[in-house]
Amino acid sequence: MKKFAIIILAIMLSFVAVSCEQSVAETKDSESAAVTIKKDAEELKPVKVVFDLKKPSDIVFDIGLEEDEELICLEGENVADGDYIVSDGKLFVKREYWTTLKGGEHVFKVVTTKNEKKLSFDIDAENKDNNIVNGGFETGDLFGWTAYTIFKGEDDILSFVDEGVKENDTFFTFEVPYGGKGKYVYGFDDRDGDNKDKWNERMGVMRSSTFVLGGCGFVSFMLGGGKNGQLCYLSVRDAETDEEIARYKNEKFNSTSYILDEENYYEANLVSYKADLSAHLGKKLYFEFVDLGGRDWDLLTFDEIVSYHKTEPETGVLAKDIKPTFTDSYVPNVLYNGDLSKGLEGYSEFSASSSNESVFTVANGVLKSDAQGDEGRGTLRSSLFRVDGSGIISMNVGAAQGKRFDKDTFISIRERNTNRELFRFANRNHDGNTMIRYYVDLSEHIGKQCYIEIVDNAAGSYDVIFVSDIITYYASMPVYGLDNAAVNLVY
């Protein structure tokens, strides 16, 4: 029996040895083939590529194509067919592709109908990872930025579009230029006197490319417009967690008459700001412009967004962080003072009225934004609550039935830290001062810590909002009909 086992083992070892010899032979053949291909490949002259993130453009290579020679494909460096074209015997690699590469040495394999060519190139892009793409809009468009709507999917009222990029020396009013840097800024077109009102009504969000915060940790930017800083602002966000790191408004905006006070006149003309983010050095971040307003000067103009500084900029107003912050270590599922029996205790108010006076009052358990009549504009922010139980919350809403009620007077539910808007609804069943019960389905957000913002950004007849009896916890699903179901305007 032992002899039989030994014979079997010997046969197996012999088989393994033969297999190994074949494997080695195949490997050698493969290596030989690889070497042959590399040896036969034509070495094109190495190229130094200077890719300017401030003004990105296509890069052109002369790959020496003969008249009867055609490019089959370009390989290496994750390049795809749509990243390049060939014209007049030259290779044009698109600017969109260049933004994905890091600085340093890279190699393309150029496969043609006649042979293969090795194209090596070195990207000279100092601190490329620390800079955003097209921060000064010197391409004349929004290349490098991504814009999207945040109101009922209505792309036709998107506030960030290529048409908004204007030449820096354009006069927006009273022969006052925007005052940005370079040839272009992001502004608006007011030549016929009507477009500013149309531009005010636009809404949207626009984010930059991602950057790694480096240097001294300061960033800088130029801002104009943004009269209601609670609805129109610039955010800085963590690209990995989506947490809002900081939020800045154009604090210098005012409606001072240019004729009476030329030096303090700041509307669409730009103010230079700088911000200290050094506590977040090394993090991947991005900028995000937000425009949620639809009234006079609820628009943003901007330019020269710079994400990297070796040292603190010598000029610029030190921007103040206005992002919502909460210090609560424990968050209950029942909103504090949801019945408003303690007046405005537990709520924070941000007035957008020119007088900066209080807009919200509480009488007989009903919150009203009528302290200044229909003209008053402002935002009221609640404390935190935890989405729990059935995930349904509810509240009574009245008035809020102006011409553009769903854009100007609404309720917003936002998530702590990211401050993302999870749900926004308006009084779609408005009937004078009648209070209507609305139920908001947050069941997909169970466990999240949230807060409520009540917004009155209107100044016309019935452009006030009433709210009462806010309930944030139902152990089981309450019974309600479609008429009482809040409809989410965020999509």
DSSP 8-state code for residue 485: B
State the residue range of the domain holding 136: 129-318
Output the pLDDT for position 154.
Answer: 80
Measure CA 69 to chain center: 45
Structural domain ending residue among the three candidates 318, 339, 359: 318
Say if 402 falls within a structural domain.
yes
Tokens encoding 353: 């009225």
Residue 337 lies in a domain: no
Structural domain contains residue 329: no
Please count the structural domains in the chain.
3
Strand partners, 381: 348, 453
pLDDT at 197: 75
Report angle CA 206, 234, 361 to the nearest 5 degrees.
Answer: 115
| CATH code for the domain of 215 | 2.60.120.260
Please tell me the predicted confidence (pLDDT) of residue 295: 84
Please say which residue of 98, 126, 154 terminates a domain.
126
- Report if residue 148 sits inside a domain: yes
Residue 330 is assigned to a structural domain of this protein = no
Nearest by Cα to 98 from 134, 53, 145, 45 = 53
CATH number where 453 lies: 2.60.120
31: in domain:
no
Residues of the chain where predicted confidence (pLDDT) is lower than 50: 1-39
Q: What local confidence, expressed as pLDDT, does residue 354 receive?
A: 67
pLDDT of residue 304: 98
Report phi then psi at 403, rounded to 5. -60, -40
Task: Provide the pLDDT for residue 41.
Answer: 55
* pLDDT tens profile 100-118: 888 889 999 999 999 898 9
Q: Do 344 and 260 form a contact (C-beta atoms < 8 A)? A: no
Q: How many CB atoms lie within 10 A of CB 113?
A: 11
Is the Cβ–Cβ distance between 270 and 260 less than 8 Å? no
* Residue 423, H or E segment: strand 421-425
